[in-house]
Amino acid sequence: MAEWSVWKALEQVRQKKRELDPLFARAGIAPELATIANRICLDLKRSPPTLPLLTGDKTRDAEAMGMYYEGYARQYEEAFYKAENLLRFTWVPEAAPIGALVSAEILRLRDQLKNEQGKTPDFTDLEALLFNYVRLDHPSLALPPDLLSNRRRELTDVAGYPLLVQHAHSEMQNDSVPPLLSEEFKTQLSEHLQRYLASPWLHCPLITQWYVTLALDAGLARKKHDALDDQLTASLLKRRWPSLSNWMPHFEFADQCWYIALSLLALVSLFMEWWWLAVPMVIWLHLSLGAHRRERKQIEDRRAFLLGQAQMLKRTRDRFGVGHISLEKLAFQLRHWDEKGEYFEPQLFDLLALHQHQE
């Protein structure tokens, strides 16, 4: 099996979904443009129409020659139209001045065909400009030597990051990406979101969907983890009954040791008939039992609430993945579910605003 790479994964997605074509083109990868330029040059080399036979009738001959000149110009007009259409394709932005030269040359050739009817123009300059445009080798085009390589690297590192995470988490022994629940991954995701937002040339609805889905997955994983973390939930309760675990949260058996000690003290007090100590201790233990039952019920209620939110978030994530929820509606729902900003990065909401008016 061929070794997996982010670049190969991006190319595979590009072959299936053409939304990535503009990104590859801005990075200087669009082989179809060279194919179109070759076809245009072949069209320009086609033989012109044959002169009509003149009958000696001035009216008929003038009409036949008029149709001949129209057909002559129309034959090259198709090639000009293809060349103009080539310039409309997304390409390296720095090549725009060469595109302007191509447009000016087409305009000159049209005027020549109009003024010199029936005479084949010289298309050498147009052909050269077309290839200069697609090959980025025009003498006046001074591209920085590392411009395209940096752009391709950015395409891999930023646009391909969600694919890297998806691949890494699908393999048990792959540690190229930190676990979803780790602080390291949270920081890494935030940095990549910021890099994506700061690179307008990479903005694409498909990649935005990848990042939003990844952020939803990370938020869903953290919410499920918090729902099952009883210690975290207990620490968020406002009025907790005094116990050793309140002051020593990292000691797993703090409460067990605390209440065993209190129970032994109460038994000793009863046997020794120290009523001044035994009665308060028994009352304290009885109240502690009720308080811990109440706290346990609050923790279970909180867990059920968080698990319910997690289930709704998963349904929302699945519906967003198949395009049943708009970015605007998703942003509203996430703000409602995460009012304190515990599970989703602020950059996510900036991301959701990128393409709202394009839907």
* pLDDT at residue number 2: 44
| DSSP code of residue 176 | S
pLDDT of 263-287, one tens digit each?
767 777 777 777 776 777 777 666 6
* pLDDT at residue number 49: 63
**Spatial separation of the C-alpha atoms in residues 40 and 80, rounded to whole Å:** 8
Token digits of residue 115: 């003024």
Token digits of residue 316: 């929302």
Per-residue pLDDT of the chain (359 residues; tens, 9 = 90+): 346 789 999 999 999 888 999 999 999 999 999 999 999 999 888 877 666 566 666 666 666 566 666 777 778 888 999 999 999 999 999 999 999 999 999 999 988 888 877 788 899 999 999 999 999 999 998 889 899 999 999 999 999 999 999 988 888 777 888 888 889 999 999 999 999 999 999 999 999 999 999 999 998 888 888 877 766 666 655 666 566 555 556 656 666 666 666 676 777 777 777 777 677 777 766 666 666 677 777 777 877 887 888 888 889 888 988 888 888 888 888 888 887 778 888 889 999 988 765 55
Nearest to 267 by CA among 253, 257, 277, 258: 277
| DSSP code of residue 339 | T
Phi–psi pair at 162, nearest 5 degrees: -60, -35
**Spatial separation of the C-alpha atoms in residues 264 and 341, rounded to whole Å:** 46
Query: Where are the domains positioned within the chain?
Result: 14-135, 146-359
Q: How far is CA 204 from CA 24, 84, 207, 216, 354, in A?
A: 12, 25, 5, 18, 9
**Spatial separation of the C-alpha atoms in residues 208 and 359, rounded to whole Å:** 13
Q: How far is CA 48 from CA 6, 119, 120, 121, 134, in A?
A: 49, 9, 8, 11, 27
Phi–psi pair at 128, nearest 5 degrees: -65, -40
Contacts of 209 (CB under 8 A, 6+ apart): 320, 321
Cβ–Cβ < 8 Å for 36, 102 = no
Cβ–Cβ < 8 Å for 47, 53 = no
**Spatial separation of the C-alpha atoms in residues 157 and 165, rounded to whole Å:** 11
DSSP annotation string for 113-162: HHHSTT-----HHHHHHHHHHHHT--TT----TTHHHHHHHHIIIIITHH
Rounded (5°) CA angle 344-213-18: 140
For 203-236, give one letter per residue: b (16+ CB within 10 A) or e: bbeebbbbbbbbbbbbbbbbbbebbeeeeebbee
SS3 state at 253: coil
The phi-psi region of residue 255 (left if phi > 0; otherwise alpha if psi is between -120 and 50; otherwise beta) is: alpha
